[in-house]
Amino acid sequence: MPLAPARSRRRISHVTSRLTTLALAAYVALGAASFPLRAAEFDLPKGPNRALVYAKCRTCHDLQYVVESKGLTADAWDGLLDDMEGFGVELTADERQKIHTYLSTYMGDKPAPAETVVTAQADTPVDGGAVFSENCTSCHQNDARGIEETFPPLAENRDLFLSDTFPAKVLLNGMSGTITVNGNSFEGEMPSFAHLSDAEIAAVINYLRSHFGNNAAAHPGISRITADTVAALRNQEMDPTQVLALRASLK
């Protein structure tokens, strides 16, 4: 499973003039070359479309930026979404509206109480393609081929088949360090996506294994992963560098 890279100064240079004073100060404070931190270190309030905020906001920075901006007005959050798009984060009109509603409701100047998110029932299928579209495409693109020298591809990626459970361990714990995918080197940190449900993690892994040319790398020794398997793996916490070491041992 590939890594998301450290923030690139090249992204910042052409949009600095568009940043508000608050946004620029936050980026400088966080450090333009720092790696994203694991999702568990900055837990956002539960509410509708929380996962979308995790997915889109961590394209360029960690969630500390969002957490420390709590208390902004709806108009201020709208301005920061302009800045996100200026940095190159692609948002549909629907995604932008959902993110803005979440931020202004739960991270605004008059935040609503956090909600209890109802997870899907065990017999309710989860659309792995939808999970991929909402959580992975900001970095790895709609065709899963990533961005050269920036975000590695998920397409034709044999990491998905290193073991039954390796991709789930990456999604639950993140992965940090240098990897080579299809002959190209990438250095950075993939953040944890442990905020996703067990069923969502299983669904997106199974989806990726059967799409984007990855089915050619499939073999009988790799089983379809289940939500129950992901749930058990949550109790086997690893740090991102340990996941990288596990990857090396499976190659």
Most confident stretch, 10-14, 18-22, 162-166 = 162-166
Q: Is the pTM of this model over 0.85?
A: no
| Residues of the chain above pLDDT 90, percent | 53
Q: Could you report the per-residue pLDDT of 1-12, keeping only the tens digit for each?
A: 545 444 333 333
Q: Would you say residue 31 has pLDDT above 70?
A: no
Counting the structural domains of the chain, the total is 2
Q: Does residue 30 sit in the same domain as residue 96?
A: yes
Helix (H/G/I), strand (E/B), else coil: 91: coil
144 lies in the same domain as 228: yes
Q: Indicate the range of 13-17, 140-144, 209-213 predicted with least confidence.
A: 13-17
| Range of the structural domain that residue 54 is part of | 9-106
Q: What is the largest CA-CA distance in the chain?
A: 55
Among 224, 198, 193, residue whose Cα is nearest residue 210: 224
Say yes or no to pLDDT of 29 above 50: no
Condensed to tens digits (0 to 9), the pLDDT of residues 100-148 reads 999 999 999 988 887 755 555 556 789 999 999 999 998 899 999 998 8
Dump pLDDT digits (tens) for 83-106: 989 888 888 999 999 999 999 999
Q: Is residue 81 part of a domain?
A: yes
| C-alpha pair distances (Å), 121 with each of 12, 61, 98, 128 | 42, 33, 23, 15
Question: What would the pLDDT profile of 182-193 be if each residue is shown by its tens digit?
Answer: 999 999 888 999
pLDDT at residue 41, as a whole number: 60
The H or E element that residue 12 is part of is: helix 9-13
The H or E element containing residue 186 is strand 184-190
Q: Which two tokens stand for residue 37?
A: 């931190």
pLDDT for 171 beyond 70: yes
Beta-carbon contacts of residue 101 (< 8 Å; ≥ 6 apart): 48, 49
What is the DSSP-derived secondary structure letter of residue 109?
S
The tokens for 233 are 């793996």
Residue 57's nearest CA partner among 29, 33, 31, 27 is 27
**pLDDT number for residue 90:** 84
Quick one: 98 and 134 in the same domain? no
Domain match, 69 and 26 both: yes
